[in-house]
Amino acid sequence: MALTIRPRRDEDLPALAAALVRVHAQDGYPVEGVADPEGWLRHDRELQSWTAVEDGLPIGQAALTRATSDDDAARVWLDHIGGDVNRLAIPVRLFVHPDHRGTGAGRLLMEAAFEFARTRGLAIAFDVMLKDQAAIRLYGRLGAQQIANLTHHYGDGLTEPATVFVMHQ
């Protein structure tokens, strides 16, 4: 099977939304739910997004966003590393359809985000829920370093334990 990573296109959104619904049903990601999967795929501070495509089918996505001081990962990064939050990017919205895991798609998507940030001189920090152990293993293999744990607050008073990673470039 031919696996490629390319910038996400609008025509990818229906297939990616269907994959996201499947991921949520299996893994509980994202914890906030997927009432509007196509809307969730887009992010209002998106710098770039990528689609993993296998044999012509969009099977996964990652996006890179501009950080703000309100982001959990940005607050931890500022406390532990320091720097200008305007020079910080946060990878978000990473998922791969369950039927296509083990293909390297997640790694390639994150590498695309890391390379985009590196070539623009941006630091990288991001958080992941502790329940998402496969993602945590992936980030460790990519060389990301855990710097702190936190509690992610969402919905109506709901919480989820999380950890923050940084990628040193």
Q: What is the CATH number of domain 3-124?
A: 3.40.630.30
What confidence score (pLDDT) does residue 32 get? 84
How far is it, in rounded angstroms, from Cα 122 to Cα 86?
A: 9
pLDDT in tens, 5-24: 999 999 999 999 999 999 99
What confidence score (pLDDT) does residue 78 get? 95
What confidence score (pLDDT) does residue 98 get? 96
What confidence score (pLDDT) does residue 169 get? 65
Query: Where residue 154 falls among pLDDT bands split at 50, 70, 90?
Result: confident
Domain range list for the chain: 3-124
What confidence score (pLDDT) does residue 1 get? 63
What is the rounded average pLDDT of the residues 18-44? 93
